Amino acid sequence: MQEIVYFGTYTKKSSQGIYQAYLDTEKKSLTTPKVVLKTGNPTYLQITKDKILAIASRQDLGGIEIYRKADGTLLDEALTPGPNPCYVAYDAKRHLVYTANYHKAEVNVYAIDEDGKLSLTDSFQSEGQGPRPEQEKSHLHYADLTPDGRLVVIDLGSDRVFTFDVSASGKLDLVATYQAEAGFGPRHLAFHPNGKFAYLTGELSSQVQNLAYDAHSGHFRQVQTLPTILRTGLLTMGSLPFTFQLTGSLYTSQTEATTP
C-alpha cells in the first residue's frame, strides 16, 4: 500500500518549500521527496482531506497559507508583520484553524470556509517568563485539540498549559491552566488513545510528564515525570515533539546530548 507523505522545510538554504514522497508500507520504502509547492519556510503543515495548511513567511511577513491539495492552487493566506507561527492545527468539526506563534506569544483562530478562505475570529496573547535563559518571555509552541474538542495551548516560556473552550464561531474561553515546574519548558502534548491521559514533553528539561486529564473541567494533573535521557553526565539541548502510537508506545526525540 502506498501513502503520500508531505514534508515541511526551512527555505533559508537550498530547500524550496513543501515536498512530497510516496511511502510503501509493505516494502517499508520511501521515494525521493520532490518539491510540490514553492513557498517560504513552510516549517509546519496540517493536511486535510482536500487542503494543505502551511506555515509561511514572505519577506517581513509571517502567517499561514491554504492550498488545494489536488493541484496546489493557493486558496488564501493570512500574513501579518513579524515572525511566522510555528504550529498550525485544523478543527474539522467547527471548520476552524489555529496557529501558535513562538516569537509573538500569540494564538490566532481563523474560520475557514469551503473555498479555503480565512477570517480571523479570535486571538490569545500570553505573558510570562521562567528561570531559564530561553524563558525570558512567553513562547507559545503548540495549539491543538483535546479528544473532547477543547483547545490546548502550551507556553514554553512560562511553563504553562492553557485549556480553552471553543465556541462554534471560534471564540476562546479560558477554563484551566496547568503550571509545570519552573524550567520544565513544555513544548508539545500527545493524548493517550483513551483520552484520560496526556504526555507533555519538556524541551528545556529533557523530561516527559504523564498528566491526567479531567474532561469535565479541562484541568490537567501531574501523575509522573520521567527523563527522556537515561544516561547520566550529559549536557542536553532538550526534547522535541513526540507522538503516541496505538500500539501503546510513546515516541519522542532529542535535539542533542553530549558529555561535558
Structural domain count, the chain: 2
The reply to whether 55 and 108 lie within a common domain is no
The one-letter amino acid code at 150 reads R
pLDDT tens digit string along 44-100? 999 999 999 999 999 999 999 999 999 999 999 999 999 999 999 999 999 999 999
CA distance 106 to 197: 26
Of 81, 107, 125, the domain-final residue: 81
The reply to whether 19 and 111 lie within a common domain is no
23 beta partners? 3, 30
The reply to whether 98 and 139 lie within a common domain is yes
Q: Containing domain of residue 23, as a range?
A: 1-81
DSSP 27-57: TTEEPPPEEEEE-S----EEE-SSEEEEEEE
Read off the pTM.
0.92
pLDDT band at 240, cuts 50/70/90? low
CA distance 113 to 10: 28
Of 36, 59, 81, the domain-final residue: 81
Q: What CATH code is carried by the domain that includes residue 181?
A: 2.130.10.10
CA distance 113 to 172: 19
Of 31, 47, 81, the domain-final residue: 81
Average pLDDT on 184-207 reads 94
CA distance 3 to 210: 32
> What 3-state DSSP class applies to 87?
strand
pLDDT at 231: 55
The reply to whether 39 and 73 lie within a common domain is yes
The reply to whether 106 and 118 lie within a common domain is yes
